Structures are given as C-alpha cells and as structure tokens.
Structure 1
Amino acid sequence: MAWIKSPYPIERIARMNGKKIGLMKTLSPKNRAIIAMLISAFSFSIMGIAVKLAVDVPLYEKVFFRNFITLFLAFYMVRKKGGSYFGHRESRPFLLARSIIGVLGVVTFYYALSEIDVATATTIQKLSQFWVLIFSAIFLNEKIRLKQYLYLLIALIGVIIVSKPTHIGILWPTLVCFASSVFAGIAFTFLSKLKTYESPSTIVFFFSFFSTVVMIIPMILSFKMITFYELIILLLMGCGALGGQVFMTIAYHEASASDVSIYAYANVFFSAILSMMIWNTLPDIWSVMGILLIIGASYMNFKEVQRYELEEGQSCCDHVSN
C-alpha cells in the first residue's frame, strides 16, 4: 500500500489494486471531523495512561518531554507543508495567549492525572466545553441560553460528587483538575479564533515550541535521570499528545465545535477501558455517579447548541426569503 500526500493526515488516500480509493474524501466535512475527534480522544487516552505510568518522573519533566517530542514532529509537519512556524503577525497575540493558557492547562491536568484515576480526571477536564461557552460570550460576543447555565450547574454538582469533599486527599487534585478545565476552555476559545488565521500544523508547532522553552528551567530544577522504561513511556506520552492535538485541531477545522465537541467524551470510555486492562481498576460508585452527571449535562448542552444553531440558520433563511 502506498500513500499519496494531502493537506491533512486524515484525508490521505490509499492506492490499492492500482486504483485510488479516497474513502475520507467521500465523507462530509462533519463526518471527517467526527472521525478526527475520535482519533484525538483515543490519542489523549494513551497520553493520560502514560502520564499515570510515569509515576516516578517529576511533573515538569513530564510536561517538558511531552512538548519536546511533539516539537520535532510538529516542525516536520510545518516544513512538509511549507507553512509558517510562528504564524502571521496578526495572529501571534492569539497564538501566544493560547500557548500561555495551554501550558497552565497541561501542568494542572498532569498533576491531577498523577493523583486521581484517569477516567475521572478526563471527565472533569472535559468541563472545558462549558467554559468555552462562557469565554466565547465574553470575548467573541456569542450568546448563552438560560438552559445552558442549568446544565453547567448540573455538571458542577457532578464535580462535587466526584471530588468527595470529605476526602482531603482527593479534594485538592480534583480542584486542580477543575482549574485545568477552565484553562482548557480559554485555550479552546483562542483555538476557535485561530482557525480563521492559521493551519493546524502552525498552531501545534507554536504551542509545542513555547511550552518546551518555558519548561526548561522548572524541568532542570526538578530533574531526575530516567530509566529506559520511563523513556519509552515518555515517548508514548509525547506521541499521544501529538496525535490528540493534531486530530483535535483538524476536527475543529473541518466542522464547528457544536457538531463535534461531544465526541471528545470518547476519551473517558477509552481511558476507563485502558485503566481496567492495565490496573484492573475502575472508578468507584461515587465517581461513576459524578461522571454520569457531567457527561449527561454535557450532552444536553451539546443538543442545546445544535438546536440554537438550527434556529439561527432557519431565521437567517427566513430573513433572506423576505
């Protein structure tokens, strides 16, 4: 089987039996975005499991290696496509802001992954979709419906149940994970803005370069010589992070966030299955209840966004026809 080059990895065409078969090109942009988001979710699950396995590697060293590995692959992607490494002048403030917030999100999320189970941490971090709504309303003048505030409240109740406030050892990492979801929400808001300016490869490279540079000093201060096993785990973590970033960015380029964001929750399913396979553990009953509340609220919010966009589209059509 040989591969033919295309702008995005998900759109590559296989040549089989002397004929070109372009399965991905026959799909609608929305379906391509869904497939990209599912691949992203699985990749991030691999990353989360790797973070958990690298138990003796210091936090900042994990973050450094995650971005250092991604940096080289992102560099290759930009060079292959002949794109810009650091973006256009008008987009650099957004690239920089997305990178600063993104680093804070990665550090807090990696800390949470080290302290609580992967499925629970992943679910809490997915609260970012609600923060995207809020920050989009603040910075992009988008509207939020009253029902969506209700869904956010339900999701927050789910976080409280998951955090088990009476267990101090779980409460703190849960709050840190909650903070990571806020940072992710801000970063995704900037990502939505950047899709009109830059290609996915440029966005990934800029973030990887920035986060690698800022992690050098913290990594040196807490440096620990790693074993060969830990090196393999860190490489796996970096590859998972790269795949997650690239395919998530592609998904948001192919379709609107309201169409594909819900599929990112496949990450929770993948993480739970992988955790069971590796450690033979699953979240306890309270965590499961909290996770179901968060996912349920997220799904209702997803449907509300779709309904709102449908009404807006119909309203525009009526206006034009009149």
Structure 2
Amino acid sequence: MSSRNKGILCILSSAFFFALMSVFVRLSGDVPSMQKVFFRNLVAVVIAVVMLAKDHQPVSLSGPAKVSLFFRALLGTIGVICNFYAVDHLVLADATMLNKVGPFFAILFSYFLLKETIAPYQIAALVATFCGCLLIIKPTGAGGELFPMLVALLGGISAGGASTMLRLLGKYGVKKSLIVFVFSLFSLLTAAPFLIFDYHPMTMQQTAMLLLAGVSAALGQFSVTNAYAFAPAREISVFDYSQVVFSAILGFFLFQQIPDLYSLLGYLIVCGSAVGMFLRSNRKDAQTV
C-alpha cells in the first residue's frame, strides 16, 4: 500500500473516531457540557503524559512559542466546549459540519497572523462556505436552534484559529507531545472549577460513555497525526470531511436524526468548496514542481 493510501485510511479512521466521540458525548445524557469536557480531557492528559515521558528530552521554549502555545490551548478549549454543547443540542451532522468550517477560517487567521496571501479561489471558497453555513444555521431562528448553531459555528472558527497556532508552533519546532499535553491540561483545568460548583452526579453508564468519548478522541488524534506523517495535507485533508457522513449515519441509526433539505444543501456547498480548494491547491503544486 502506498504512503498516500495509508494516509487516506488513517484520516478516514480519524474521522470515524471523532464522529464516535460525538456519539458517546450525546449518549452520556443530561450532563453539563463542562463536565463532559473535563472527563474527555482526563483521558487525553493521561495519554499526553505517557507521550511526554517517552521523549526524555528537556523542554525549552522561546517567548513567541509560549504565546502561540497558550493561544492554541485557549482556542482549542473553546472549540471543544462549543462542539460538545452543539452535539447535545443539534442534529449530529449539523454540529459536525459547522465544526468543519475551521480550515476556511484558518485561511483568514493565516492572512492576519502569518501574513500569508489569499488567492482568489480561496476567497471564492470562503464566500461559498459562508453561504453554506447560512443554509445550515437558518438565521431566521426557525426550530429554536439558532443559538446552538451559532455556538457550533464559533467552535469551528476557534478550531481554525487553533490550527493556525499549530502552524506557528511547527515553525518554532515545538514537539507534538508537548502541544497535546498543554492543550489537554488547559482544557482540564478550565473545566475543573465548573465541577466544583456545579457537579452533577453520574451513573456508571454516563461515566463509561464519557471515558469512551475520551478514548475515541485519543484514537482520532493518533490517527490524524499518523495520517499527516504518511502524506501531506494537500493530498488527503479533503477526506476529513467524511466525518460529516459518519455523523449523519450514526445520528440516523442511533438518534433517528434526519437533516433537513437546507442543511443537506449547506453540506454540499461547504464540502464542495473544500473539494474545489483541494483540487485547485494540488493543481497549483503540480505546476510549481
């Protein structure tokens, strides 16, 4: 099997595990979102500590690297909180799709923070994505889901910012194990005070569901890390949108959720924009070789 095909399989695996994480979060039932975030990251912190221990290397960071690491943790935490809230209040596929607008907003963040130019086809993709999001959100407020839709969109925007910080951290040479550890610990500590003042007792089943959500998230992160080790992002990143398909299938069979026609059209526009950018970027790369 070629490295590219291995990368595709890994990113499909990642998409499935992250969709499964959302399912376990919803199956945990009537538990506050911050409590869910805490238990999800409890597993991640344990795994991150093991990863750090295996490195056996001292950590030394420059000032700009520390700032980027902080904002990666902050934006990533906001993204997780918003995503968990959205999963509890929306059709699973809607919550997933709005979370997947992150790469488009990463283009804007990269323009302002990294001074990267935006090509005309990227601007077109951003405009199309905005239109697709409007179809999913349905800003008239029909169905009483406007607020959770906006929260889901905020989660996607935060994820885009976190991705931009990851690019900066890569330039600074910060190890992935340290990034995962700081993000997981930051999320854990952010959620901890809410447990102290508003802890909701959980059944064994609810606890098991949240721990499984943490395991699924860890497997998803492991899979996506390996995916980009096998192949560059420009060749495989578009396959990450398969998470929307997995979420729609799981949502239908487990929760009898069926996205409405406007949402389906929004999915097509956003995914179509991603495919268009993917093909255009590959063509541009091929011309420069």
Q: TM-score, normalised to structure 1's length?
A: 0.82
Contact 1:46 1:236 in 2 (8 A): no
Partner of 2:184: 208
RMSD: 1.9
Structure 2 Cα separation of the partners of residues 250 and 189 of structure 1 = 19
Contact 1:154 1:293 in 2 (8 A): yes
CA gap of 1:183–1:301, structure 2 versus 1, over 3 A, is same
Q: CA deviation at 1:194?
A: 2.4
- Consecutive unaligned residues in structure 2, runs of 5 or more: none
Structure 2 Cα separation of the partners of residues 33 and 142 of structure 1 = 26
Contact 1:159 1:294 in 2 (8 A): yes
Percentage of pairs with the same residue: 33
1:144-155 equivalence runs, <5 A: 144-155=118-129
Q: CA deviation at 1:132?
A: 1.4
Q: CA deviation at 1:83?
A: 4.9
- Consecutive unaligned residues in structure 1, runs of 5 or more: 1-25, 315-322
Structure 2 Cα separation of the partners of residues 219 and 131 of structure 1 = 32
Partner of 1:317: none
Shift >6 Å, 4+ stretches:
none
Q: CA deviation at 1:185?
A: 0.4
Q: CA deviation at 1:130?
A: 0.6
Larger relative helix fraction? 2
Structure 2 Cα separation of the partners of residues 192 and 246 of structure 1 = 18
Partner of 2:160: 185
Partner of 1:125: 99
Q: Which amino acid aligns with 1:215?
A: A
Q: CA deviation at 1:151?
A: 1.6
CA gap of 1:83–1:282, structure 2 versus 1, over 3 A, is farther
166-175 vs 120-129, greater mean Cα deviation: 166-175
Q: CA deviation at 1:49?
A: 0.8
Partner of 1:258: 234
| Matching of residue 75 in structure 1 with residue 33 in structure 2 | no
Structure 2 Cα separation of the partners of residues 41 and 152 of structure 1 = 22
How many residues of Structure 1 are paired with residues of Structure 2 in the alignment? 285
Which residue, 36, 42, 48 being the options, matches 2:16?
42
Structure 1 Cα separation of the partners of residues 212 and 57 of structure 2 = 27
Partner of 1:243: 219
Deviations 1:8-51 (A, max 9, x none): xxxxxxxxxxxxxxxxxx633x4443333222111111111111
Contact 1:204 1:245 in 2 (8 A): no
CA gap of 1:102–1:244, structure 2 versus 1, over 3 A, is same
Q: CA deviation at 1:253?
A: 4.5
Q: Quick check: which has more Rg, 1 or 2?
A: 1
1:1-322 equivalence runs, <5 A: 27-28=2-3, 30-83=4-57, 87-90=59-62, 91-166=65-140, 167=142, 169-196=144-171, 197-311=173-287, 313-314=288-289
Q: Which amino acid aligns with 2:193?
A: I
Q: CA deviation at 1:99?
A: 0.3
Structure 1 Cα separation of the partners of residues 227 and 115 of structure 2 = 23
Structure 2 Cα separation of the partners of residues 169 and 280 of structure 1 = 19
Structure 1 Cα separation of the partners of residues 190 and 121 of structure 2 = 40
Structure 1 Cα separation of the partners of residues 229 and 113 of structure 2 = 20
Q: CA deviation at 1:288?
A: 1.1
Structure 2 Cα separation of the partners of residues 252 and 218 of structure 1 = 35
Deviations 1:285-320 (A, max 9, x none): 221111111111111122222223333x33xxxxxx
Deviations 1:49-97 (A, max 9, x none): 111112211111001111111111221122234356xx43123332221
Determine helix, strand or coil for the equivalent of 1:195. helix
Q: CA deviation at 1:202?
A: 2.4
Determine helix, strand or coil for the equivalent of 2:219. helix
64-73 vs 276-285, greater mean Cα deviation: 276-285
